Structure 1
């Protein structure tokens, strides 16, 4: 008996899909190469955010165990890259005392030019803060020692444009203590920066 054979040609739809996938792959690879070459040419440094100055404007603490405070905090955003502008976005910091968040510092998206810095002045005013016994002991001790400490944590998402097809993204994070003297409301300078320590 003769054998029956059948031949099924490849569907034009499959050929079209394969061609489209190949084109997309080439575009993605080419775009990756462009971004990589641009990054190597620009070789951007990681941006830096840091607290440059601060002031304890107001501090009130009563025997009932309620604290009110107002601080001025100056944060510098620094772009050391000589060949590209830096865009800072999602900039949020949390200010806390003895683990209790008392205020948030937020800033809208902004751009820092090549080899430039930008300063943001934050006026942080808290609502009346009820203190638990541990916090009451801490603030009593702080006033006796004439040093009160707040914690500042947060950061910003940054990116550089690398050519027309992409950007390089970084995250800048702060986690530090801000110390003040209640007697004269002055700031005790200490390192507070996102720069990597060597």
Structure 2
């Protein structure tokens, strides 16, 4: 038997597939390129120069001034405490002012509205303190009829020891003082009834001495007096008060 080999089948060459790298390259060429993102801005580092500097030393003058202020504050507090203790121990009282006697010498009306008058009275100043001396540095006394000023007089300063009283004769003269018609008629009425009323107002500046220290204050005296008619008018009633 003869063996025959089958004839080989003839195959036509077909197109082989492209390698994958070539396909990827083609795809990359087809994809549009996106713009590159902006580069991040560099961050600024905080400045640390001030933190690295050593602390400054306080000036010696500042320390001296602070020490002086502390010493002054302590002395001021001690002075206040000492003054309070002195006040509690001594218990200071202000002097008093009053009128002990008076003489109405004349009242004359030149015209119905112009007044002339002459009045003398004794002013009594007393210092009720037993451990403190006082000094009157300023003294001014005014005379009023009703609420109208008709005379004024200033006195010389003087000093008063503790528990001392002093009498001062005060002469008040009124010359051509204008009075409203209503007050002029009221004055004539009081003269006819033998009862004339005046108001005395005193303004004083007093200095109190406490050993090495002292303090000053204003004092106000008020007296309402009633006298008989001139020419020999005498004091028949009075009401006095003294306030700071």
Secondary structure, in 3 states, of the residue corresponding to 2:57? Answer: coil
Q: Structure 1 unaligned runs (5+)?
A: none
What is aligned with 2:222?
Answer: 175
CA distance, structure 2, for counterparts of residue 145 and residue 67 of structure 1:
18
1:132 to 180, 190, 194: 180
Higher strand share: 1
User: In structure 1, what is the Cα distance between the partners aligned to 2:136 and 2:72?
Assistant: 31
Q: CA deviation at 1:123?
A: 0.9
Whether contact under 8 Å (1:66, 1:128) holds in the other structure is: yes
Q: What SS is found at the alignment partner of 2:191?
A: helix
Pairwise CA RMSD: 2.3
1:111 aligns with 2:184: no
8 Å Cα contact 1:49/1:172 also seen in 2: no
Q: Which residue of 1 aligns with 2:59?
A: 11
Structure-2 separation of matches of 1:34 and 1:44:
15
Q: CA deviation at 1:134?
A: 1.0
TM-score (norm 2): 0.71
What is the deviation of 1:90? Answer: 2.0
Could you say which structure has the greater relative contact order, defined with CA pairs below 8 angstroms and 6 or more residues apart?
1
Sort the Cα spacing of 1:108 and 1:19 in 2 relative to 1 into closer, same or farther, 3 A: farther
1:81 CA displacement: 1.3
Query: What is the match of residue 194 of structure 2?
Result: 146
Q: Distance in 2 between matches of 1:100 and 1:29?
A: 48
Larger radius of gyration: 2
Question: Is the 2:96–2:221 contact (alpha carbons within 8 Å) kept by the matching residues of 1?
Answer: no
Map 1:2-41 onto structure 2 (within 5 A): 3-41=51-89
1:144–1:57 Cα change, 3 Å:
closer
**Paired residues for 1:79-98 under 5 Å:** 79-98=127-146
**Counterpart-to-counterpart distance in 2, 1:143 and 1:46:** 36
User: Residues 98 and 195 of structure 1: is their aligned pair in 2 closer, same or farther, counting only changes over 3 Å?
Assistant: closer
Q: Kindly state the Cα deviation for residue 64 of structure 1 after the two structures are TM-superposed.
A: 4.1
For 1:191, what is the secondary structure of its paired residue?
strand
Residue in structure 1 matched with residue 90 of structure 2 by the alignment: 42
User: Does structure 1 conserve the Cα–Cα contact (< 8 Å) formed by 2:99 and 2:238?
Assistant: no
**5+ residue gaps in structure 2?**
1-44
Q: CA deviation at 1:7?
A: 0.8
Q: Which residue of 2 aligns with 1:100?
A: 148
